[in-house]
Structure 1
Amino acid sequence: MKRLLTLFTALVVFFGQSHAADKPNVIFILADDLGIGNLSCYGSDNYKTPHIDKLAAEGTRFTQCFTAALCGPSRAMIMTGRYAFRNGSSNQDACTVMPNKELQLGRVFQSAGYKTSSIGKWGQLPGEPDEAGFDDYLRFNGSGVYRNKKEGKSEEYLVNSKEMKLGDDEYMPDLMHEHMMKFIKKHKDASFFVYYPMSSVHGDLLPTPDSASGSTDLMADNITYMDKLVGKLVSELEALKLRDNTLIIFMGDNGTGKGQSERATIGGKALSGMKGTMLECGGLVPMIANWPGKTPAGKVSADLIDSTDFLATFAELTGGTLPKDTIFDGHSIAPQLRGEPGTPREWVYNQLAAMWYVRDAKWKLNEKNELFDMSDAPFTEKLVAGDHPARTKLAAVLAKLDPAGGIPDSGDGTGRHANKDKKKKVEESMKKPEAPSTTTMSAEDAERAAKFDKLDEDKLGKLTRDYYTTHQSDAAAAGNRFDKYDTDKDGFVSRDEYITKGKVTK
């Protein structure tokens, strides 16, 4: 009997360890304004990042990870697993008025029994982290918070709803690291998730604690200090004996900022695009995954990824749940993180304001129907004229997505600022309840119903041709869509016609 009990105990321990190993702790590090040209493991000419390079050397480095070209829309993709035309996050200001229910990242971990913490930048998202699935948080206002910038005026931040002021001798990146380690130590015997959106390396750049007096290269100083903090995190996880069961994701939130882009070269060559642009390196970002014993060491993957994929990936890895009545755009890369082939994407989609593109491994097609040969990316993008099989293929993807039929952009066209009149209308429409439906709808139909209700500001139950086309970014194509939807040819598109894309039967 004693031997049987010993065997039973050993089996319980074994299967418990096996289960824990398959449900890792997760730390998602999101660097701010850090492009591929800022990391030495991606070939940067001017910056050295030995600790991040080590993560890549001992894990997998992805070369085709895309996200939105500005921080708010990028974070919205990560948090929601949905494209901007679905959640309304096509510009910075619109991100702050997204419905709170869109923010699923913390919630998916909570649903799997994880303890969750958000530490860093949050102001481009609605509400507070504790309203979006995070048990613990430290958040500062704005971007690029390092030290107090003005004499007699302290930077303010929140720790679990408590208002705090940065001391004159305090450095925000260090406070964030200390808060993170306190959270990890508290929950080291449980499963935990840390969302870690860093200050670094968003401007206005200030000297780090390690900067030499009179340093003239604050970008290099800040990248070096950021890299140091990543190394410090790894060392402390090792000391706590947590490293082997912790998946670390390191990613940039968009491309390099304008003021630093000229020095973000690779192999002596300038990159195409920067933060805020729809060129390649506006949205192409570094992404490294390191999970000891699971993620292949030293692998470089060219699998296409966009930042909606993280939510689906984490749901699969943890067993967490997502709402069943919502369309999610992500494709799980959990197999690739475990060293398996998986089913890589055939294309990625990217959007900022009313600009968008769909891109596969070789070609890119934008909202203007411009086709680009991407064989020399990330350095050049070659415009291709005339008919081409790639144009037909990617146009079919855009037609299926139908971004122009989604929530219209409420901004000034740049993705940075609101058009105040449009923003007010979007905010008002988001507050109004959806019209009731007399039938049980699919998730796709329910989403189109919500889009119609947002367009139908006067609640007439129908849209005129002029109204519909002027509320779309592509008036000519919108006119064709209107004619298709208007099946009874009465000059209006009804709610049912819109929902079914003209397939309604009377």
Structure 2
Amino acid sequence: MKNRIPLFVLAALLLLFPGAGRAAETPAPSKPNIIYILADDLGIGAVSCYGADHFRTPQIDALAQSGTRFTHCYACPLCGPTRALLMTGRYAFHTGMTGNDSGPLLKPANETMMPRVLKPAGYATAMVGKWSQLPLQPADWGFDEYLRFQGSGKYWNTQHGAETYTLNGKETPLHDGEYLPDRMQTFAIDFIQRHQDKPFYLYYAMSHVHAEILRTPDSAPDSKDFYADNVTYMDKLVGRLVAELDRLHLREKTLIVFSGDNGTAPAYAARATVNGKALSGHKGTMLECGALVPCFATWPGRVPQGRVAESLIDLSDFFPTLAEIAGATLPAGLTIDGKDFAPQLLGKSDNWPRSWIFVELGTHWYDRDPAWKLNEAAELYDMRGAPFEEKLVASSVGDDAAVAARARLQAVLDQLNPGGGKVDPGDGSGKHANKAEKKAKKKGTAPAAAPATNSQNANPPDQ
């Protein structure tokens, strides 16, 4: 008992240090780093945690398991409109980005992209990868640093348009034998290393797995499946990025979102089966898997681990959600179509904000709830068999559920009024509508008129 501290000494200590008798309080979490990885032409049928039969993505699967994976996340059926949707949080009929040719309608005077929102909140910002359908340069939209390539699906300097890339405004040669995705990865890791002591936002728009599908540095000399090789290499790059975050002790400070930008390209859709079944639709179509994309978010200790969320979200929702998590302010005077699901993402609420999603491409659109879809032609589809089938419901069908669904979804379309917004300037497909016209001008002939159709089964060529 000789070592006991007298009570009057303890009382004096408590007066001098009133917090000494309490457990240390957990400090408020700081702003997370944010990394958004956008894969190109990666549908759910090429990601093994979604049940892909012919492809394995162990690094992506492990990352998804560390957070929350979404089974009903929707983009647009083409890359350009998706990137505008993601960067602005606004639907195409608001921005004008209804197709791959309508990027010039986006102007910094009219639209605000994610880096402009995050920079006032203290974030360093960088973009790496594909930017081609969006106008101007990433710096014009607020990115501090960027590395972008021209067009889509660029890997080696033997490809037309891949002889150079743009690094912070300077055209830079892609050297012989240099693999552009590796160069992009080096840029991304260098940015992370230089900004590890302050919050950063990295938008990583990958080359993979957009055509032209070529060999990777890991392809065997006798490989007969370059597409699978590309999926595997993309998976490896994602794993290496996460490993670098671990090495820098940044993993617990970093929110990572991963998604595709549209469904699988038509040339590879037949192989992209899930659990032995063919999917309904692919890139460029208004069928389910034109816009349904793999998506997950992970932030250790903050986003619930191992959760599979069936709630509806679309990529516009990440604009207000990430802004909320970053403590940033949304732009004033703009209609933000995205819904903030930060409380749900962080496990603080089970009441997800969406009961429907909206998808638009060219002059076609639809809204969808968990069981039904209604398009611009007033065609109602039973989606209870999706993503494998969707059944057209005749307008004469008097089933109570179908009648109620038609009325409910039509009310949403009436409220949105996409036909009263900015109209697609091309042929209505949302594709590169000017290609035929340019070819015709060179030959001195008139281009053939594009067929008018409202069908969601319209199957334009891959672009």
Q: Please, what TM-score do these two structures have when normalized by structure 1?
A: 0.79
Letter of the structure 1 residue corresponding to residue 158 of structure 2 = K
Q: Using a 3 Å threshold, how does the CA distance of structure 1 residues 403 and 112 change in structure 2: closer, same or farther?
A: same
| Residues 412-445 of structure 1: CA deviation (Å, up to 9, x unaligned) | 121112469x9xxxxxxxxxxxxxxxxxxxxxxx
Q: Using a 3 Å threshold, how does the CA distance of structure 1 residues 239 and 5 change in structure 2: closer, same or farther?
A: farther
Alpha-carbon shift at residue 14 of structure 1 (Å): 6.5
In the alignment, which residue of structure 2 is the partner of 1:494?
none
| Residues 207-261 of structure 1: CA deviation (Å, up to 9, x unaligned) | 1111000211111100101000111111110010000010110100000001111
Query: For 1:148 and 1:227, how far apart are their aligned partners in 2?
Result: 22
Query: For 1:191 and 1:353, how far apart are their aligned partners in 2?
Result: 37
User: Which of 235, 247, 257 lines up with 1:239 in the alignment?
Assistant: 247
Check the 8 A contact 1:95/1:126 in 2, yes or no. Answer: yes
Check the 8 A contact 1:115/1:187 in 2, yes or no. Answer: yes
Task: Say which SS state the counterpart of residue 192 (structure 2) adopts.
Answer: helix
Query: For 1:356 and 1:93, how far apart are their aligned partners in 2?
Result: 17
Moved over 4 A (4+): 1-9
In the alignment, which residue of structure 2 is the partner of 1:133?
142
Letter of the structure 1 residue corresponding to residue 280 of structure 2 = S
| Residues 99-155 of structure 1: CA deviation (Å, up to 9, x unaligned) | 12424211111121100000100111111111111111100010011111259x862
For the pair 1:411 / 2:426, whether they are aligned, the reply is: yes
Q: Using a 3 Å threshold, how does the CA distance of structure 1 residues 7 and 249 change in structure 2: closer, same or farther?
A: farther
Query: For 1:145 and 1:70, how far apart are their aligned partners in 2?
Result: 17
| Residues 59-103 of structure 1: CA deviation (Å, up to 9, x unaligned) | 111000001100000101001111111110111110243112424
For the pair 1:380 / 2:397, whether they are aligned, the reply is: no
Alpha-carbon shift at residue 6 of structure 1 (Å): 8.5
Q: Which runs of 5+ in 1 are unaligned?
A: 423-472, 475-506
In the alignment, which residue of structure 2 is the partner of 1:230?
238
Q: Using a 3 Å threshold, how does the CA distance of structure 1 residues 135 and 150 change in structure 2: closer, same or farther?
A: closer
User: Which of 307, 327, 331 lines up with 2:335 in the alignment?
Assistant: 327
Letter of the structure 2 residue corresponding to residue 389 of structure 1 = A
For the pair 1:360 / 2:369, whether they are aligned, the reply is: yes
Q: Which structure has greater helix proportion?
A: 1
For the pair 1:300 / 2:300, whether they are aligned, the reply is: no
Give the root-mean-square deviation of aligned CA atoms. 2.3
In the alignment, which residue of structure 2 is the partner of 1:119?
128
Q: Using a 3 Å threshold, how does the CA distance of structure 1 residues 389 and 150 change in structure 2: closer, same or farther?
A: closer
Mapping for residues 425-440 of structure 1, pairs under 5 Å:
none
User: Which of 410, 413, 417 lines up with 1:402 in the alignment?
Assistant: 417
Mapping for residues 53-202 of structure 1, pairs under 5 Å:
53-101=61-109, 102-150=111-159, 155-202=163-210
Alpha-carbon shift at residue 7 of structure 1 (Å): 8.3
Query: For 1:168 and 1:3, how far apart are their aligned partners in 2?
Result: 70
Letter of the structure 1 residue corresponding to residue 199 of structure 2 = S
Query: For 1:8 and 1:137, how far apart are their aligned partners in 2?
Result: 47
Check the 8 A contact 1:26/1:193 in 2, yes or no. Answer: yes
Task: Say which SS state the counterpart of residue 157 (structure 1) adopts.
Answer: strand
In the alignment, which residue of structure 2 is the partner of 1:19?
29
Check the 8 A contact 1:154/1:167 in 2, yes or no. Answer: no
Q: Using a 3 Å threshold, how does the CA distance of structure 1 residues 315 and 355 change in structure 2: closer, same or farther?
A: same
Moved more, 334-343 or 293-302: 334-343
Identity of aligned residues (%): 53
For the pair 1:32 / 2:40, whether they are aligned, the reply is: yes
User: Which of 310, 322, 325 lines up with 1:317 in the alignment?
Assistant: 325
Moved more, 32-41 or 91-100: 91-100
Task: Say which SS state the counterpart of residue 392 (structure 1) adopts.
Answer: helix
In the alignment, which residue of structure 2 is the partner of 1:343?
352
Task: Say which SS state the counterpart of residue 100 (structure 1) adopts.
Answer: coil
Query: For 1:283 and 1:6, how far apart are their aligned partners in 2?
Result: 59
Check the 8 A contact 2:95/2:105 in 1, yes or no. Answer: no
Query: For 1:204 and 1:58, how far apart are their aligned partners in 2?
Result: 32
Q: Using a 3 Å threshold, how does the CA distance of structure 1 residues 367 and 303 change in structure 2: closer, same or farther?
A: same
Query: For 1:414 and 1:5, how far apart are their aligned partners in 2?
Result: 74
Q: Using a 3 Å threshold, how does the CA distance of structure 1 residues 3 and 256 change in structure 2: closer, same or farther?
A: farther
Check the 8 A contact 1:100/1:126 in 2, yes or no. Answer: no
Task: Say which SS state the counterpart of residue 246 (structure 2) adopts.
Answer: helix
Check the 8 A contact 1:410/1:419 in 2, yes or no. Answer: no
Check the 8 A contact 1:248/1:290 in 2, yes or no. Answer: yes
Alpha-carbon shift at residue 342 of structure 1 (Å): 4.0
Alpha-carbon shift at residue 322 of structure 1 (Å): 2.0
In the alignment, which residue of structure 1 is the partner of 2:449?
none
Query: For 2:81 and 2:200, how far apart are their aligned partners in 1?
Result: 26
Letter of the structure 1 residue corresponding to residue 182 of structure 2 = D
User: Which of 25, 44, 52 lines up with 1:44 in the alignment?
Assistant: 52
In the alignment, which residue of structure 2 is the partner of 1:391?
406
Alpha-carbon shift at residue 8 of structure 1 (Å): 8.9
Alpha-carbon shift at residue 156 of structure 1 (Å): 1.3
Query: For 1:43 and 1:155, how far apart are their aligned partners in 2?
Result: 37
User: Which of 267, 277, 280 lines up with 1:259 in the alignment?
Assistant: 267
Check the 8 A contact 1:312/1:331 in 2, yes or no. Answer: yes
Check the 8 A contact 1:154/1:168 in 2, yes or no. Answer: no
Task: Say which SS state the counterpart of residue 92 (structure 1) adopts.
Answer: coil
Q: Please, what TM-score do these two structures have when normalized by structure 2?
A: 0.86
Moved more, 218-227 or 93-102: 93-102
In the alignment, which residue of structure 2 is the partner of 1:221?
229
Check the 8 A contact 1:61/1:288 in 2, yes or no. Answer: yes
Mapping for residues 254-293 of structure 1, pairs under 5 Å:
254-293=262-301
Alpha-carbon shift at residue 206 of structure 1 (Å): 1.0
Q: Using a 3 Å threshold, how does the CA distance of structure 1 residues 8 and 28 change in structure 2: closer, same or farther?
A: farther
Query: For 1:149 and 1:266, how far apart are their aligned partners in 2?
Result: 34
